[in-house]
Chain A
Amino acid sequence: MTPTGSASAQHLRFRATQLRALARRLHNLQVLDCCRAAGSDTWIGPSPQRCDDALRGFPGTLRAQADSLAIEARRLDRLADEIDARARLTGPR
């Protein structure tokens, strides 16, 4: 059975909520702060340098993904609004 307009919109809004929640989690992961525990105050050498570089790169990657999720969530909300608006125009059947 095909979802009605309001059901589709409700589903989209639910997805948007989930994506925003996921984005918030990505912004608050423990891994974002691990680089503070590393660095030249903790260890030095070729391998430590590689590890430090990697740990410093994680936050940027995760925050970029979080931002993408937030953008997608807003897009889904707009779609839901458009569906609701069309439903009001055509009226109940």
Chain B
Amino acid sequence: MGLLAYDPERVANLKHRLIGAFEELRTIRSTDPAATLAMRSVATIRNEIDQVWLPLITRILENTALTGAWWYSPVDSGDLRNALVSVMVDGYGWSVQRDPLNDDSSVVTPAEARALGAMFSRSDLNSLVTDHEQVRWLSQQLTIIGRDPTLSANFLVNFDAWQAFTYAFGREYAQSSRPDIAAVFDGLMSVWAQELPPGALNSGKSSTVDALLPTIDDIDPYVQALMLRSLHLDALSTATVTHELLTRWLAMKNDPSARMLDHQVGAGPNTADLLLPLLLDDPTACAWFTRLAARDPAILFETLNDPELAYQVVLIGTDPGNTTTAAAGHAVLAILDYFRIDPYTRPGLDTDGHPGEYGPFLGGLVAPWLLQFTMTNEDWSSTAGEKAALLRVALHNDQAMSRLIADAERIRAGFSESLSTYDIDAAAQVGGLLNLLLQLSVNERVDDEIASTDERFNLMWTVVGVASSFLPGGPLVGIAAGLAMTMLSSKLDEYLDQPDPTGVRRTAERAMDVALALAGADAVSRLHQQWVADRRIAATHSPPPIVNVGGAVDWCPSAEYHAEFAEWRNDLPGGRDGTLGRQASDLLDAFVGTSGAQSNCAEVAG
């Protein structure tokens, strides 16, 4: 049962007017057949006044004197559903009674919208948020109001409780993550959105928080996040304002005097957690956000309770299919630089926003861009030394290495963007990459005084396996090379007891030399098989040499291989300087040229 409120004098006047109208209608008569319909209408109206509306009004006026009866209950002024009634009773001295009809909550009048907007200035909001029934009703009403520009304008003209309302509901959501609270924000922001200029919700890179939200003093970033989320912006706009918001959030995090609802977040999402998931379905938005965040990677790694969100956004945003090489370079290098120092050792890092287990993320981050780290690649504006140092940040981490080794597909995606298939230049780039990876491996093992073969060899074979599709000779068939590597690994294990750094370095350099020689020999072997298939050389022609991995600890495989290769090259059709000879030589040089072999052997010899 609903409530009705009324001005008794005016209702009495209405009754008087209706009685007069009724009496007048009784005098309307006509027997003309042409007036039949008119007379029927007159009779209908007369009867409705007499049998429906006059009795209602009479009952209301008679009950006015009975409001002191035991069954009478005063209006609950805190109940939002009686907002308009409360306004009229408390504000204008009207009377109130039970109404035999229930209020149709699916219909909101402009007067009701105005009254609802005014209610929050004097409501106990802290109690309101705990009343689930009223909260659900409120979200329904706001949704209805938000669909209509006129109702929205009526609501907003009286709604001046933005700060108190959004904070009370925001705090409740922080502590409980209740869906009905989220629905209230959705409804409230649908009302507010009616006030925004056309196109405001789709301003993309030009979006600003101030242009989208009402002005609220000392607003909490968590509340802003809830409001922005409820505006249902397009992903690019969300990315832009999220970056702006989290920049402010970081500044507040380091300010001990700042109050932040994020400190009250239970198991649910914090400010950043609320917004970043909205980007994941839009690679363009992820790329844009990553580009913005590259200016200060702390926005990615010191704001989220769920660091996986940042990983996903960045990996999507730096994927070769979603961004330019240059933009990816800025982001990848900036992020690696951020992790150059273990973030968990930084002062001030607490559990409210943290980088999580970032190792696998770093592996996935560099996987598509390995070629860009090599010395001869100039896609990124950074020195070769700096790039190598930053790549080492990723490769230093065991989890990153494991991720790289397993993520052949991301490596392949990067190669596809950078290499033309079956191009000798591709071999040069791949060879350069292998040299870089192995040199980093040597340095790493020397630094750690670890002499055993490790995951870096596995990474090398992942790279070789992926790269083989782009190299002259076609896809990998170097099973023999893989077996040789296995034999080498067991051989090298014999040299594990090497406590002195010099001995470790020599072992590491030898392993590197073997690996490069094997990779180069494998590539030459595949090239030879392609020649045979193309009938450029007889099938009976001697195949290229293989790498001998069974020598002494100070023996240098690449030098021996180069010598045998030179002999084999002389016997090719056209000789060493013929077309085939030059092609094979160029391919081998991409992995370990003559001078490189000599340098390696010098290192091995100590």
Contacts and interface: CB of A to CB of B under 8 A. Distances in A.
Nearest to A55: B53
B11 to A, nearest CB: 6
Contacts of A49: 109
Interface stretch (A2-10, A33-41, A85-93): A33-41
Interface string B20-37: 111011001010101101
Given A26-B38, A34-B21, A61-B45, A46 B103 contact: yes
Interface stretch (B94-102, B341-349, B363-371, B400-408): B94-102
A3 B205 CA distance: 90
Interface string B78-118: 00000011001000000000011111100001010000000
How many B residues are at the interface, by size bracket?
35 or more
A37 B45 contact: no
A15 B111 contact: no
Nearest to A26: B38
Contacts of B100: 47
A66 B35 CA distance: 9
Nearest to A64: B41
Given A41-B10, A51-B56, A22 B30 contact: yes
Contacts of B14: 34, 37-38, 42
Contacts of A61: 41, 45
B4 A34 contact: no
B492 interface: no
Nearest to A66: B38
Contact of A22 (B5, B35, B111): B35
B41 A62 contact: yes
Nearest to A71: B34
Contact of B99 (A29, A31, A45): A45
Contact of A34 (B2, B3, B6, B18): B18
Interface in A17-67: 18-19, 22, 25-26, 29-31, 33-34, 37-38, 40-51, 54-55, 58, 61-62, 65-66
B101 A46 contact: yes
A54 B111 contact: no
Contacts of A62: 41-42, 45
A26 B374 CA distance: 96
Contact of B3 (A45, A51, A69): A45
Contacts of B48: 54
Nearest to B7: A42
B49 interface: yes
A50 B289 CA distance: 54
B17 interface: yes
Given A45-B4, A46-B4, A15 B32 contact: yes
Contacts of B20: 30
Contact of A45 (B5, B21, B35): B5
A18 to B, nearest CB: 6
Interface residues of A, number: 36
Nearest to A58: B45
Contacts of A69: 34-35, 38
Contacts of A76: 34
A25 to B, nearest CB: 6
B13 interface: yes
Given A18-B32, A44-B88, A69-B34, A31 B101 contact: no
A84 interface: no
Given A31-B45, A38-B14, A48 B4 contact: yes
Nearest to A61: B41
B6 A46 contact: no
A18 B35 CA distance: 10
Contact of A48 (B6, B32, B41): B6
A72 interface: yes
A46 B104 contact: yes
A71 B25 CA distance: 22
B34 A19 contact: yes
A58 B198 CA distance: 41
A71 to B, nearest CB: 10
Contact of B101 (A25, A26, A47, A58): A47
Contacts of B56: 47, 51
Interface in B479-502: none
Given A31-B45, A31-B49, A61-B41, A46 B32 contact: no
B102 A46 contact: yes
Interface in B289-303: none
B38 A43 contact: no
A51 B4 CA distance: 12
B401 to A, nearest CB: 71
Given A45-B5, A62-B45, A29 B21 contact: yes
Contacts of A34: 14, 17-18, 21
A37 B17 contact: yes
Given A34-B18, A58-B45, A42 B2 contact: no
Contacts of B103: 45-46
A10 to B, nearest CB: 15
6 contacts: A26-B42, A34-B18, A44-B6, A51-B56, A62-B41, A72-B34
Interface of A: 15, 18-19, 22, 25-26, 29-31, 33-34, 37-38, 40-51, 54-55, 58, 61-62, 65-66, 68-69, 72, 76
Interface of B: 2-7, 10-11, 13-14, 17-18, 20-22, 24-25, 28, 30, 32, 34-35, 37-38, 41-42, 45, 48-49, 52-53, 56-57, 60, 84-85, 88, 99-104, 109, 111
Top 5 closest A-B pairs, CB basis? A45-B4, A43-B6, A46-B101, A31-B21, A65-B38
